[in-house]
């Protein structure tokens, strides 16, 4: 094969696999009840967190109260994915309401591409929380699916710690590489 042809072939190969949005097996992302929950969270949260501390506190309180009435589906409260799902928090981890607000923005970005850009990329922030994607091959997901994976982290932290803080990772392997990619919730840098 001529070098030029090989180069073109490589680009096609990378294009075919690198740009395709991965369809998640997760039932969470497309659960209409969760999509509805996040549309309600988003209407309270707005696009960015209020700068005024009193308003921020009131906004967080409203979001926590909304989330407290939501019946978490059994698969996120009983099923465990120890090899895939980690709640890792510290005193510095983002506030629960902030992580939920960042997720609500991702749910609203359905159809947009969230790409790890050959490393780690922040996808959405709100207040103290940021949600990012890490992967060595420019992993791409529908942003709503990234929100759905982040929701698993939130649900796991809620089960382990209550509604204080959220942080952690949801690992996701592609069949054609041994390198895992993941969605992360962490303190906004
Ligand atoms: C709001 O402020 C009060 C008083 O400082 C505090 O106890 C409460 O935890 C705050 N609520 C949130 C959601 O941060």
Q: What is the pLDDT of residues 26-70, one digit of tens each?
A: 556 678 889 999 999 999 999 999 999 999 999 999 999 999 999
Closest to 186 measured CA to CA, from 90, 106, 117, 104:
90
Q: Residues 6 or more apart from 14 whose CB is under 8 A from it? A: none
Binned at pLDDT 50, 70 and 90, residue 81 comes out as: low
For residue 61 and ligand 1, the question of a CB distance below 6 A is answered with yes
Q: What is the pLDDT of residues 100-152, one digit of tens each?
A: 999 999 999 999 999 888 889 999 999 999 999 998 777 788 899 899 889 98
Binned at pLDDT 50, 70 and 90, residue 8 comes out as: very low
Return the structure tokens found at 48: 């960015």
Give the integer Cα–Cα distance in Å for 30 and 14: 28
| C-alpha 63 – ligand 1 centre gap (Å) | 12
pTM: 0.82
Return the structure tokens found at 148: 């759905």
**Look-up of token digits 């309600």:** 40
Q: Residues 6 or more apart from 187 whose CB is under 8 A from it? A: 92, 93, 94, 128, 129, 130, 167
For residue 66 and ligand 1, the question of a CB distance below 6 A is answered with no
Binned at pLDDT 50, 70 and 90, residue 178 comes out as: low
Task: For residue 122, list its beta bridge partners.
Answer: 132
Binned at pLDDT 50, 70 and 90, residue 173 comes out as: low
Yes or no: say if 76 and 54 are a contact pair by the CB < 8 Å rule.
no
Q: What is the pLDDT of residues 156-167, one digit of tens each?
A: 898 888 888 999
Every domain of the chain and the residues it spans = 22-187
For residue 57 and ligand 1, the question of a CB distance below 6 A is answered with yes
Ligand 1 atom with least separation from CA of 60 = 13
49, 55, 58, 61: residue to mutate for ligand 1 pocket, most atoms within 8 A of CB: 61
57, 64, 98, 126: residue to mutate for ligand 1 pocket, most atoms within 8 A of CB: 57
pLDDT for 91 beyond 80: yes
pLDDT for 16 beyond 50: no
């Amino acid at each position: 094969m001529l070098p030029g042809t090989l180069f073109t072939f490589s680009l096609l190969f990378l294009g075919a696999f690198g740009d395709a949005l991965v369809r998640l097996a997760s039932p969470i992302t497309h659960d209409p009840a969760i999509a509805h929950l996040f549309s309600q969270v988003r209407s309270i949260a707005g696009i960015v967190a209020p700068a005024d501390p009193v308003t921020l506190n009131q906004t967080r309180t409203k979001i926590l109260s909304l989330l407290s009435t939501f019946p978490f589906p059994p698969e996120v409260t009983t099923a465990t994915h120890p090899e895939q799902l980690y709640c890792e928090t510290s005193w510095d981890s983002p506030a629960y309401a902030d992580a939920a607000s960042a997720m609500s923005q991702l749910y609203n970005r359905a159809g947009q591409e969230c790409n790890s850009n050959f490393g780690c990329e922040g996808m959405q922030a709100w207040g103290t929380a940021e949600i990012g994607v890490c992967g060595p091959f420019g992993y791409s997901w529908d942003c709503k699916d990234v929100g759905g994976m982040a929701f698993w982290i939130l649900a796991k932290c809620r089960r382990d710690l209550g509604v204080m803080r959220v942080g952690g990772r949801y690992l996701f392997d592609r069949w054609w590489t041994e390198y895992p990619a993941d969605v992360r919730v962490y303190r906004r840098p």
